[in-house]
Chain A
């Protein structure tokens, strides 16, 4: 099991959807952090825990682009990604956003 702590490894202040929207976007997170770490986790038959504790907020367009967008990537193995990716937060304020991110991934998985 490996961990990706968003607040310390990426940013406490998550941005918008695309790189053009400014720093710390969902697209930047997906391409530069999430994709390489998930690929490594799948190769090693492990699980990547993305931990959101410490972030100042979770913009919904960031979440959609990072997680829903990841499952839109052509050629990706949706089942392997869903098995290798877990979203976590101990902070109760973040729980609805974790459920939302999972919902975004489920919606994209159903569309494929």
Chain B
């Protein structure tokens, strides 16, 4: 650190004392305060950004879970014409893929390995929506599936909400 001293022509002892003793720690403190406030502000901004990103992902996931229940009910509750069944199958496949991707984003703690809880919960939902007769022209209505789809969707939603809460309260958003 460079010492600040009074110039040779300076004869005011108070000014000399201020420049010599008080100014260096004041300047250092000021610099530290500025750096700390910038770091804290950036960290808070990142926290808010991640929290908003997660909240949006969970909201989008809830909408897709509602959509899959509605489409699944339509598909499994009545005998459909082939074109109508094809259209719903395509929409269900798309929605399920979206649910899988959103679930991974919403709950990173549940998605650490292939055998973690997240992939298993999504696989259960996939199984109930697209059972063995899915995509066959001969598929028959199956009202049990409608109930099972709702149950699996609710389980997935509840688990993701709990995990998201835990993820945020553990402060992992700062990581």
Q: Which residues of A contact B (CB under 8 A)?
A: 16-17, 21, 57, 59-61, 64-65, 68, 89, 92-93, 95-100, 103-104, 107
Q: Are B119 and A99 in contact (CB under 8 A)?
A: yes
Answer yes or no: B111 CB below 8 A from chain A CBs: yes
Residues in B whose Cβ lies below 8 Å from that of A60:
93, 96, 126, 129-130, 134-135
Residues in B whose Cβ lies below 8 Å from that of A103:
123, 127
Residues in A whose Cβ lies below 8 Å from that of B126:
60, 96-97, 100
Taking each of A57, A61, A68, which has the highest tally of chain B beta carbons within 10 Å of its own beta carbon?
Answer: A61
Answer yes or no: B132 CB below 8 A from chain A CBs: yes
Answer yes or no: B136 CB below 8 A from chain A CBs: yes
Counting residue pairs across A and B whose Cβ atoms lie within 8 Å, the total is: 63
CA distance A21 to B101 in the complex (A): 26
Q: Are B136 and A96 in contact (CB under 8 A)?
A: no
Chain A interface, DSSP helix/strand/loop, else mixed: helix
Residues in A whose Cβ lies below 8 Å from that of B135:
16-17, 21, 59-61, 64-65
Residues in B whose Cβ lies below 8 Å from that of A16:
135
Among candidates A68, A96, A104, residue contacting B119 with C-beta atoms closer than 8 Å: A96
Q: Are B132 and A68 in contact (CB under 8 A)?
A: yes
Taking each of A60, A65, A96, which has the highest tally of chain B beta carbons within 10 Å of its own beta carbon?
Answer: A96
Q: Are B114 and A61 in contact (CB under 8 A)?
A: no
Answer yes or no: B153 CB below 8 A from chain A CBs: no
Residues in A whose Cβ lies below 8 Å from that of B119:
92, 95-96, 98-99
Within 8 A of A (CB), among B128-175: 129-130, 132, 134-136
Give the distance to chain A from B65, nearest Cβ to Cβ, in Å: 14
Answer yes or no: B122 CB below 8 A from chain A CBs: yes
Closest to B99 in A: A96
CA distance A103 to B122 in the complex (A): 12
Q: Are B132 and A104 in contact (CB under 8 A)?
A: yes
